[in-house]
Structure 1
Amino acid sequence: MKAWIDIYIGLGSNLDQPLDHVEQAFSTLAQHKHLRNARISPLYQSKPVGPQDQPDFINAVAHAQTQLGPHDVLDLLQSIEQQHGRKRLRHWGERSLDCDLLLYGNANIHTPRLTVPHAHMHERSFVLYPLADLVPQLCFDNGLDFSRFLSRVPFDLEPVKKGI
């Protein structure tokens, strides 16, 4: 029997009722037959990364356990994005839903389709602070203490809603 792996997923939206998109995406994850023990951080409002001529984002981080492989998780996340009408109009642009696989256990993955840990997570308050809400004592496989990243990134988020 395959081991259950802890995964962390960044969720974000800034179009068409973004709070609803994030909550519905989490609900889909929580009910998925290959995921268990799903939890979500508090939801936060954040300024966009990249072009500033777009609405603020609603962001959260979800945790679950899975026996799926990392690319299967990526496929699942992309299918959820498609269900929410995700279109890639411009780099770091507006979107109805963005689902990013941030962490897959302690795995380091570098393929053309997937980089885990997520390449920019250590720079983004809208990832780090919700992740810290779920796992404040997180330590990376390379020995880096998660709190060191938090101390380098200002808290520039607006709390919107408590997690589950």
Structure 2
Amino acid sequence: MSGAGAPTVHADGHGLRVAVIAARWHEEIMGGLLDGALTALSHCKVEDPVVVRVPGTFELPVAASRMARSGCEAVVALGVVIRGGTPHFDYVCSAATSGLTQVSVETGVPVGFGVLTCDDEEQAYARSGLPGSQEDKGYEAASAAVSTAVVLRDVLKGWA
């Protein structure tokens, strides 16, 4: 588990428009990630985040792109991909990672990466934010997206 060294992020996201896009595969683990993301947004004073559910992790980039282009100032992408016996894992992880990166770079909208890419369900549960887990990647992804949006807003304020 690599939780060591994670920054403490506290940002005031009051007034930010934020979307949380969550896959449906592995519903219990996704529930933990989604709860963690919504808790982080509440702690960051983000009001009324939009929650969008998509079938799987592969669909996250297209939904993130639409939300980023529709006026959201931060997007949080949540998904779970668990390694199986075929290369499917590699393709989905690669597509989601590169697609979400592309959305962020092309739109200038921060995308919090809350996609768990795990060898087994035990690793996913350990990162899910559910009771007994060691990390809360949903919380971390939402905090990172809001913090980045606030930093960019504040830095660019004087340039307009």
Work out whether the TM-score is over 0.5.
no
If the length of structure 1 is used for normalisation, what is the TM-score? 0.30
If the length of structure 2 is used for normalisation, what is the TM-score? 0.30
Judging by fraction of residues, say which structure has more helix. 2
